[in-house]
Amino acid sequence: MLAVTQDMTITREDFLRSLPAAVGTAFTVNGQGIASSEAQRPWRIELTALDDLRLGRFVLPRHRVRIFLTGYGATETKRFLDRFELHFRRAGG
């Protein structure tokens, strides 16, 4: 089940550095795919590089993030996505 798709201005390295706190579970990285190690409620993230966002002299790396949750109810989905967003929020939201 696709839970959310969003474009983020972040490097792959920064995304992977922040991900453990954002998901709170062990995971494996295989190319563009990132998958949880949980058997009961697995999640998967596809991280796809996009063209940089250019604002004058500023260049921001971008990635499309697609989160797939399996076996999550509405409350659990909201909890997962809220935690994910909280850990990737910048400059206080």
Mean pLDDT throughout 23-35? 93
Closest of 5, 2, 1 to residue 64, by C-alpha: 5
Structural domains of the chain in order of their starting residue, each with its CATH number: 2-88 (3.30.1370.80)
What does the mean pLDDT of the chain come to? 91
Block residue for tokens 């967003």: 85
pLDDT greater than 90 at residue 1: no
User: Residue 46 and residue 29: Cα distance in Å, rounded?
Assistant: 10
What was the pLDDT predicted at 92? 47
pLDDT greater than 90 at residue 8: yes
Q: How confident is the model at residue 40 (pLDDT cuts 50, 70, 90)?
A: confident
pLDDT greater than 50 at residue 93: no
Strand 33-36 with 43-55, pairing: antiparallel
| pTM of the full structure | 0.88
